Amino acid sequence: MTLDDLETIIATRAKASPDDSWTAKLLAKGPEKCAEKFGEEAIEAIIEATKGDKERLTSEAADVLFHLLVMLKSQNVALADVMAELEQRQGQSGLQEKAGRT
Ligand SMILES: N=c1c2ncn([C@@H]3O[C@H](COP(=O)(O)OP(=O)(O)OP(=O)(O)O)[C@@H](O)[C@H]3O)c2ncn1[C@@H]1O[C@H](COP(=O)(O)O)[C@@H](O)[C@H]1O
């Protein structure tokens, strides 16, 4: 499973009935609800990371990635655009980037 696969699954399930699909149900609630759910999942991952529970963190991290992609879908932002942004950053240290900010 790749993030591209998951994006494709989400795009397909977005067309399903909200009665049959969590993806469709969440998207039907609108972008704000999708963002809120992503935030909840991120907080759950933070909690597991601070506890040091690797198994629970792995599970919550999966929830975070799934809900990140649903949030992007809700705003029609393509994963490819996010990856292109990361690609542009390749080769520049995060510390260099921070020091170069005006
Ligand atoms: N990867 C996921 C995925 N990860 C999490 N979830 C759902 O996200 C929902 C929210 O998770 P939570 O554990 O937070 O559930 P909750 O009910 O809010 O529980 P609490 O907050 O009370 O703990 C649950 O219903 C999970 O099943 C997912 N739902 C779908 N997918 C993928 O999307 C595909 C299509 O799913 P549907 O859209 O449901 O057909 C699936 O086959 C999977 O590949």
Q: Could you give all domains of the chain from N- to C-terminal order, each with its CATH number?
A: 3-99 (1.10.287.1080)
Nearest-CA residue for atom 26 of ligand 1: 22
**How do residues 66-87 score in pLDDT, each as one tens digit?**
999 999 999 999 999 999 999 9
Instruction: Tell whether the model's pLDDT for residue 91 goes beyond 90.
Output: no
67 lines ligand 1 (CB under 6 A): no
| Residue 17 neighbours by CB under 8 Å, 6+ apart | 24
The ipTM of this complex is 0.91
The whole-angstrom separation of Cα 73 and Cα 8 is 10
pTM for this structure?
0.93
- For 6-15, 20-29, 91-100, which range has the lowest pLDDT when averaged over its residues? 91-100
Cα of 21 vs centre of ligand 1, distance in Å, is 9
